[in-house]
Amino acid sequence: MKKLSAILKKIFGYGIMITLFAGGFTFFGYIAALIIGGSTAAAICGFIYDKFMPVIVYITSIMVLLGLVAMYLGGEMALTAEGKKKKQ
């Protein structure tokens, strides 16, 4: 399980890195559209909003799920509400 967890964490890391770069691409795409203006800007914004962002949202959701599975397979309980135990 630890080996599978390590592989899933590596995939998770690369996937989140790709989605962060894609988020930066959307930011710079909107900035470029603001500078260009006109109907070209509307086409750029339409592409980003209609075609690009839904794909990025799906990929991000899958990567988060993959990361959670990797953490639980590795023995980490990331989403538990367990308090820290005091040493006695």
pLDDT tens across 52-63, in order? 999 999 999 999
Please, are residues 33 and 44 in contact by the beta-carbon 8 Å criterion? yes
Cβ neighbours of residue 34 under 8 Å, at least 6 residues apart?
A: 41
Of the listed ranges 7-16, 48-57, 74-83, the one predicted with least confidence:
74-83
Whether 88 has a pLDDT exceeding 80, the answer reads no
How many angstroms separate the CA atoms of 80 and 40, rounded?
A: 48
SS3 readout for 55-68: HHHHHHHHHHHHHH
Q: Which pLDDT tens digit goes with each residue over 16-29? A: 899 999 999 999 99
